[in-house]
Homo-oligomer: A and B are copies of this chain.
Amino acid sequence: MSINSFGHLFRVTTWGESHGIALGATVDGCPPGVPIDAANLQHWLDRRKPGQSKYTTQRREADIVEILSGTYKGRSTGTPIQLMIRNTDQRSKDYSAIAGAFRPGHADITYWQKYGIRDPRGGGRSSARETAARVAAGGVARAVLAQLRPDLRIIGYMVQMGAHRIDRARFDAGEIERNPFRTPDADAAAEWAAYLDGLRKSGDSVGAVIEVTASGVPAGLGAPIYGKLDADLAAAMMSINAVKGVEIGEGMATAALTGTENADEIDMRRDGPTYRSNHAGGILGGISTSQDVVVRFAVKPTSSILIPRQTITRSGTPAEIVTKGRHDPCVGIRAVPVGEAMMACVLLDHLLLHRGQIGAAGGRIG
């Protein structure tokens, strides 16, 4: 019920503001005996670190994670794991301008209306920096998954930037880490580079669509009705800053399909059922089918842009606002590792939940 936590058994509570002393994640319910060290978690954090290319904010944030509790001699003890990331680069002056006026499309105004007080430095709690804590927690989840389900793989990538979609025919997983956009389509990467250069110079920003796929997920994960695997994934992805839409499998496009087209026909192979298609995105009735779990989410363009927008101040007087500072022209790029982290946390949580209620039981086919 804790409003800054998610998960049932593997429960993550993130805390901290963009420009406060530190931010982090309190990870509760982690199985014991799992090899977990800071270097391992740092690997994932470095993937969302700013300044990796000219297409992401040039803010200098080391984002070094420290493990304050929950491990002993490099292994989890089953007690809460406290992950802390100190805030190093705190140029509050960059934000002094926006303390008074509200950025259109930003949480400035709603935080003020809700709480009557807000930390304006870097957006405070509403800053995308909060997602660094998710990535660290996701690293813990991945370490546990590596032990419980060695074959489980999670990869995220960008499938759309602005109006430009990738060509699925050119999908090459190996390409993802070779371009600054984490897209599996090399040609798209080239086009997007030029497109984003123009946007960046004009001081504008643009949205994107990220897809996260998990393979090697066993059948049976998910807890109908309100702990459905897809319901939890939807909440997890929608809770990421700037996300406005979430899709499972065919997603919104399923509306245009007929029952004949949409149903994934089933065959039997030596080791179990196999499907002729995956419109379902690996989930039926809220439970995993053993096919790839496929989730997509849309990230809106950041509202921190250099183009003047019309707004009001706290006193209600009209104002024009321009957000100086070092922002991401396409925040979607850095959302890829965040989506992967949320996928890891949700899958592990349901793996533990399933083990708790069902144990080794379940129905066999063939």
Q: Which of A30, A228, A357 has the most CB of B within 10 A?
A: A357
Interface footprint category on A: 35 or more
Q: Which of B17, B33, B116, B231 contacts A117 (CB 8 A)?
A: B33
Is A174 positioned at the interface, with any CB of B under 8 Å from its CB? Answer: no
A33/B116 in contact, CB under 8 A: yes
Bound-state CA distance A311–B274 (Å) is 10
Neighbouring B residues of A317 by C-beta, 8 Å: 268
Assuming A105-B264, A276-B310, is B222 touching A110 (CB within 8 A)? yes
Is A68 positioned at the interface, with any CB of B under 8 Å from its CB? Answer: yes
A248/B245 in contact, CB under 8 A: yes
Is A111 positioned at the interface, with any CB of B under 8 Å from its CB? Answer: yes
Encode A194-212 as 1/0 by CB contact (under 8 A) with B.
Answer: 0000010000111111000
Is A223 positioned at the interface, with any CB of B under 8 Å from its CB? Answer: yes
Q: Which chain B residue lies CB-closest to A104?
A: B263
Pull 23 A–B residue pairs with CB atoms less than 8 Å apart, ordered by A: A3-B223, A5-B28, A15-B26, A15-B28, A16-B68, A16-B69, A31-B359, A32-B116, A79-B124, A79-B125, A107-B287, A113-B220, A114-B222, A114-B362, A204-B258, A233-B238, A234-B238, A245-B246, A252-B252, A254-B298, A254-B300, A262-B303, A263-B303
A366/B68 in contact, CB under 8 A: no
Is A22 positioned at the interface, with any CB of B under 8 Å from its CB? Answer: yes
Interface residues of A in 10-44 (CB under 8 A from B): 11, 13-17, 20-24, 26, 28-33
6 A-B pairs with the lowest CB-CB distances in the bound complex, closest first: A107-B285, A356-B356, A316-B366, A105-B263, A1-B1, A3-B227
Beyond the given A207-B257, A250-B300, please list 4 additional residue pairs across the A-B interface where CB-CB is below 8 A. Answer: A17-B69, A31-B361, A207-B254, A355-B355
Assuming A105-B263, A289-B110, is B239 touching A250 (CB within 8 A)? no
Stretch at the interface among A55-63, A70-78, A178-186: A70-78
Bound-state CA distance A11–B357 (Å) is 11
Neighbouring B residues of A233 by C-beta, 8 Å: 238
Q: How far is the CB of A347 from chain B (nearest CB, A)?
A: 14
Copies in the complex: 4
Neighbouring B residues of A268 by C-beta, 8 Å: 312, 316-318
Q: How far is the CB of A333 from chain B (nearest CB, A)?
A: 13
B245/A287 in contact, CB under 8 A: no
Neighbouring B residues of A288 by C-beta, 8 Å: 110
A289/B109 in contact, CB under 8 A: yes
Encode A222-248 as 1/0 by CB contact (under 8 A) with B.
Answer: 111111101111111111010011111
Neighbouring B residues of A358 by C-beta, 8 Å: 31-32, 78, 114-116
Bound-state CA distance A281–B110 (Å) is 13
A251/B204 in contact, CB under 8 A: no
Bound-state CA distance A6–B234 (Å) is 14
Interface residues of A in 82-128 (CB under 8 A from B): 82, 84, 102-107, 109-119, 124-126
Q: Which chain B residue lies CB-closest to A235?
A: B235
A106/B266 in contact, CB under 8 A: no
B162/A256 in contact, CB under 8 A: yes
Q: Which of B8, B9, B116, B365 contacts A312 (CB 8 A)?
A: B365
